[in-house]
Amino acid sequence: MAVAIIDYGSGNLRSAAKAFERAARDAGRDIKIEVTSDPEKVLSATHIVLPGVGAYGDCIQNLRQCDGMVEALQQAVIRERRPFLGICVGMQLMATAGHEFGDHEGLGWIEGDVVALQPDDHRLKVPHMGWNDLSFTKNRDHPVLDGINDGAHAYFVHSFHFRTAAPAELLSHTQYGGTVAAIIGRDNIIGTQFHPEKSQATGLRLITNFLNWSPAT
Amino acid sequence: MLKVRIIPCLDVDNGRVVKGVNFVDLVDAGDPVEQARLYDQAGADELCFLDITASSDNRGTILDVVAQTADECFMPLTVGGGVRTLDDIRNLLLAGADKASVMTTAVKNPEFVRQAAQKFGSQCIVVAIDAKSVSGEGTEHEKFEVFTHGGRKETGIDAVQWAQRMAEYGAGEILLTSMDRDGTKSGFNLPLTRAVSDAVSIPVIASGGVGTLDHLVKGVTDGHASAVLAASIFHFGTYTVGEAKAYMQNAGVPVRLDPSTHIADNATRQEGQ
C-alpha cells in the first residue's frame, strides 16, 4: 500500500504525514506514506490525500499549476475509483465552485459550492476555530466513520464552508450559527472540513479507517 | 456547539521547559516533548510553545522540539518567540507547527502580518499582543496600550485599535496577554480582554494572570474570550486540564470533555494509559 499526500504548496504537510504514519504504525501496517507533487506517484498510490489550507482561489490555482496533477487525480480517483480523502480546503476543492476572493471553478466531484460562513449569531467569531462536535444523521455504516459516534469532537479552522447540493452526500455536520458540513462523500471519495490530523483520537480513528477502506470499484 | 479551548503554554528556553510541570508521572521535567505528550493525554485542546529567549542561535533547537512534538501530539500547536521572517514561519510549519505567533515583528512592521497571512493563510498567523491598562482604570474611558519586551517597553499603540488593525491585515487569532496581571495570579485584565474581544471578529485567546479556575471562567463569561491560555496553574500542578474543564462546564462554559470517550477503539484508549 502507498498513500500519496499531495503537495501543491499549500499548508502544513508534515502534520498530515505524521498522523498517517502514526495511524499506519498503530494498525501494524506497512504502508508507505509519501508527500509528493509528482503526478506519477499519485497514479501509483493506493490511497490519495489532498490537504489544503489558505484561500480557495490560490489553492485551486496552485493545484492546476502542478503539471499533470489534476489529470492524475481524475484518472486515479474518478476513473479508477481509488480511495480519496480531502482535508479542509482539500475537501472544498471537490465542489463545483468556490466563492472566496472571486469565483473559482472547483474539481466538480461533489455538487455544491463553497461560500463564506455567516453565523446567524453575530457574537460567533469567524474563522470557526476550535473543537466542535459531529452529528451524524445518515450513512452511519460508512466504513471511514466506523467507531466515530455522534458528539465526537473534531478540530475545525475555516471561514468558508461547503454547501452540498445533494443531501445524501452530506455525511456529517456540525453547528456554528447554522449547519456546517463536516464530512462529505460519495463512492470512493470522502472529505472532512475539520483536520483529522489535529483531532487527536477521533482524527486518528478516521485516518485508520481510511487506510483500511476498500470502496467498491 | 463550538467549545472553549483550554491551552497550556510551555515556556521553552534552549529546548528545555523553564517552568517545570508537576505531573506525577513525569520522568524529565524539562523535556517539552514529554510534557506535550502528557498535556495531549490530559485533553488539552491546543498547545502553545513560547521560545522565551528566541535568539537566532537556538532557533534550530526549537525546530527540533517542534518536530519531536509533532510526532507525538495530534492537536494544534502554536509556536511563538523570535519569528522575524516569512522563512521563520515556513520553517516552523515544516517542523510541524500549525500556527506561528508574531508579536515584536508585527509592531515593528505591521505589513509583515499581511504578507504572512497571504502566504500561509490567516489560520496559521496568531498575533500576540501584550497590553496593560494605562489610564482611566475602572471607568468606561479606560485605555489599554501595547507593550513589548515582556511589558517593559511601551509602544504608544492603543491595544484595541491594534487588534482591529491586525485582524484587518489577516491575523487569524489574537493571543492577548494582560501584562499588568501576568504572574500575579489575580485573574485576567477583564476590561482589556472584553474590549479587544468585542472589537474584533476573530477569536481572542485570553492570557496572563490566571490563579484560579474561576479566572478561566471569567475570561470567557466576562472577558468574552474564545479560548483561555494558562501556564503556571498547570505547570505547577495546582490544577489539571481535566479539573479546569470540569469546573468550567459546571459554570456553564462549553468545553470538550474526555477526548477519547467517543472512541470505541480499545487500542487507541490503551495508548493513553
Predicted confidence (pLDDT) per residue in A33-56, tens digit: 999 999 999 999 999 999 988 788
Look up residue A126 and give its three cell numbers. Answer: 469567524
Residues in chain B with CB shorter than 8 Å from the CB of A136 are none
Nearest-angstrom CA–CA distance, B216 and B207: 9
- Residues B222-253 have pLDDT tens digits of 999 999 999 888 887 889 999 999 999 999 99
Query: For the residues B118-129, what does the mean pLDDT come to?
Result: 91
**Helical packing angle, A13-26 and B59-72, nearest 10°:** 40
Averaging pLDDT over each range in A117-126, A133-142, B33-42, which range is the top one? Answer: A117-126
Whether B11 is catalytic: yes
Q: Which is nearest to B102 in space by CA: B152, B174, B179?
A: B174
Give the model's confidence band at B262: pLDDT under 50 very low, under 70 low, under 90 confident, else very high. very low
Give the model's confidence band at B54: pLDDT under 50 very low, under 70 low, under 90 confident, else very high. low
Give the model's confidence band at B150: pLDDT under 50 very low, under 70 low, under 90 confident, else very high. confident
- Residues A55-66 have pLDDT tens digits of 888 899 999 999
The structure's pTM equals: 0.92
Nearest-angstrom CA–CA distance, B87 and A157: 23
Nearest-angstrom CA–CA distance, B5 and B75: 12
Residues in chain A with CB shorter than 8 Å from the CB of B225 are none
Query: For the residues B147-157, what does the mean pLDDT come to?
Result: 89
Query: For the residues A149-178, what does the mean pLDDT come to?
Result: 95
Name the average pLDDT for chain A.
93
- Please give, rounded to a whole number of angstroms, the shortest distance from the CA of A37 to a CA of chain B: 16
**Helical packing angle, A13-26 and A200-211, nearest 10°:** 70
- pLDDT value for B56: 58
In degrees, to the nearest 5, what angle opens at C-alpha A135 toward C-alphas A130 and A138? Answer: 145
Residue of A53, A147, A205 with shortest CB distance to B123:
A53
DSSP β-bridge partners for residue B207: B177
- For A119, other C-beta atoms within 10 Å of its C-beta total 16
- pLDDT value for A181: 98
Nearest-angstrom CA–CA distance, A18 and B73: 10
Residue of A15, A126, A151 with shortest CB distance to B262:
A151
Residues in chain A with CB shorter than 8 Å from the CB of B94 are 12, 14
Respond yes or no on whether the N-terminal peptide bond of residue A127 is cis (omega within 30° of 0): yes
For B230, phi then psi, to 5°, come to -145, 150
Residues in chain B with CB shorter than 8 Å from the CB of A153 are 3, 256, 259, 262
Give the model's confidence band at B27: pLDDT under 50 very low, under 70 low, under 90 confident, else very high. low
- pLDDT value for A10: 67
Do A78 and A110 contact (CB within 8 A), yes or no? no
Residues in chain A with CB shorter than 8 Å from the CB of B201 are 125-126
- Residues A83-125 have pLDDT tens digits of 999 999 999 999 999 998 889 999 999 999 999 999 999 889 9
SS (H, E, C) chain B: CCCCEEEEEEEEECCEECCCCCCCCCCCCCCHHHHHHHHHHCCCCCEEEEECCCCHHHHHHHHHHHHHHHHHCCCCEEEECCCCCHHHHHHHHHHCCCEEEECHHHHHCCHHHHHHHHHHCHHHEEEEEEEEEEECCCCCCCEEEEEECCCCEEEEEEHHHHHHHHHHCCCCEEEEEECCCCCCCCCCCHHHHHHHHHHCCCCEEEECCCCCHHHHHHHHHCCCCCEEEECHHHHCCCCCHHHHHHHHHHCCCCCCCCCCCCECCHHHHHHCC
Q: Is the ipTM of this complex over 0.85?
A: yes
Look up residue B86 and give its three cell numbers. Answer: 516569512
Whether A88 is catalytic: yes
Which residue has better confidence, B54 or B204?
B204
Which residue has better confidence, B263 or A16?
A16
CB-CB under 8 Å, B203 with A127: yes
CB-CB under 8 Å, A159 with B122: yes
- Residues B11-25 have pLDDT tens digits of 888 788 876 455 555
Nearest-angstrom CA–CA distance, A44 and A94: 21
- pLDDT value for B129: 97
Nearest-angstrom CA–CA distance, B156 and B165: 15
CB-CB under 8 Å, B2 with A200: no
Residue of A12, A53, A148 with shortest CB distance to B262:
A148
Give the model's confidence band at B70: pLDDT under 50 very low, under 70 low, under 90 confident, else very high. confident
Residues in chain A with CB shorter than 8 Å from the CB of B70 are 14-15, 18
- pLDDT value for B271: 38
- For A40, other C-beta atoms within 10 Å of its C-beta total 11
For B254, phi then psi, to 5°, come to -70, 125
- Please give, rounded to a whole number of angstroms, the shortest distance from the CA of B35 to a CA of chain A: 16
Nearest-angstrom CA–CA distance, A56 and A62: 10
Query: For the residues B29-40, what does the mean pLDDT come to?
Result: 86
Q: Which of A13, A18, A125, A179 to mutate to test the interface with B (most CBs of B within 10 A)?
A: A125
Do B223 and B25 contact (CB within 8 A), yes or no? no
Among the listed residues A59, A88, A169, A173, the single catalytic one is: A88
Which residue has better confidence, A112 or B95?
A112
- pLDDT value for B57: 62
Do A78 and A46 contact (CB within 8 A), yes or no? no
- Predicted confidence (pLDDT) at residue B260 exceeds the cutoff of 90: no
Residues of B with CB under 8 A from a CB of A: 1-5, 40, 45, 67, 70-71, 74-76, 93-98, 120-124, 172-173, 201-203, 224, 226-227, 256, 259-260, 262-265, 267-269, 271-272
Nearest-angstrom CA–CA distance, B216 and B218: 6
Among the listed residues A128, A158, A173, A197, the single catalytic one is: A197
Name the average pLDDT for chain B.
87
Nearest-angstrom CA–CA distance, A148 and B89: 34
Residue of A12, A129, A201 with shortest CB distance to B263:
A201
Nearest-angstrom CA–CA distance, B111 and B100: 16
Which residue has better confidence, A184 or B265?
A184
Q: For B122, which residue in chain A has the nearest alpha carbon?
A: A54
Give the model's confidence band at A161: pLDDT under 50 very low, under 70 low, under 90 confident, else very high. very high
For B190, phi then psi, to 5°, come to -70, -40
- pLDDT value for B82: 85
